């Protein structure tokens, strides 16, 4: 089955639109990451200035330790929040890209299946085994892709769960350390 020039141009136009869409998504994601980073740096600088003022006004070691521990907790919570936000941005982009790739693979597989089906109908006598082999190979490739796709989705879910657990553990450890420092002071 030969493609007409119009069909070829339509395919090229569709592919170009997908690439442009992905480029726009990429640029938007970069903008979001830059904004997140600028906000994080600004917040860090403001918090650091406040912390330095508070630490420099401490009159003795106990007050210094108390101020130090009270400053550590909010800063670590902000660091965890930053990490979560950054992970959410990158995860969202990866998910959008994966959906686009899945759609493209599905469309390509559908077109390939149509080509194989057309070829099998027009195949000369005696080529049934070659056609059956092509259909079998196509089915095996689709099955393998589905397996990889499923495993990838499971890995992403596991990474998200680990990120959440690590964030909770970090906050808990900071809270524990802050509480101990306050008691010691």
Quick one: pLDDT at residue 3? 61
pTM: 0.59
Tens digit of each residue's pLDDT (9 = 90 or more) over 29-67 = 899 999 999 999 999 999 999 999 988 998 988 888 888
Tokens of 143: 């099955």
Label residue 126 left, alpha or beta by phi (over 0 means left) and psi (-120 to 50 means alpha).
Answer: left
Tokens of 6: 């119009």
Highest mean predicted confidence (pLDDT) among 41-50, 61-70, 75-84, 105-114: 41-50
Average the pLDDT over each of 53-62, 80-89, 97-106 and give the range with the smallest value.
Answer: 97-106
Using CA atoms, how far apart are residues 39 and 100, in angstroms rounded to an integer? 30
Q: What is the CA radius of gyration of the chain?
A: 28
């Amino acid at each position: 089955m030969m493609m007409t020039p119009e069909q070829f141009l339509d395919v090229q136009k569709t592919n170009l639109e997908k690439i442009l869409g992905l480029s726009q998504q990429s640029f938007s994601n970069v903008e979001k990451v830059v904004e997140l980073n600028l906000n994080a740096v600004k917040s860090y600088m403001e918090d650091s200035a406040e912390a330095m003022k508070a630490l420099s006004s401490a009159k003795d070691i106990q007050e210094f330790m108390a101020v130090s521990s009270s400053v550590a907790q909010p800063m670590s919570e902000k660091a965890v929040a930053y990490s979560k936000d950054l992970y959410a941005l990158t995860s969202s982009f990866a998910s959008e890209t994966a959906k686009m790739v899945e759609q493209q693979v599905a469309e390509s597989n559908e077109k390939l299946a149509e080509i194989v089906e057309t070829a099998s109908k027009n195949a000369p006598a005696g080529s049934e085994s070659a056609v059956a082999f092509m259909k079998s190979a196509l089915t095996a490739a689709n099955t393998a892709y589905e397996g990889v796709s499923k495993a990838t989705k499971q890995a992403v879910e596991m990474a998200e769960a680990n990120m959440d657990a690590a964030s909770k553990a970090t906050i808990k450890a900071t809270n524990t350390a802050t509480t101990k420092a306050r008691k010691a002071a």
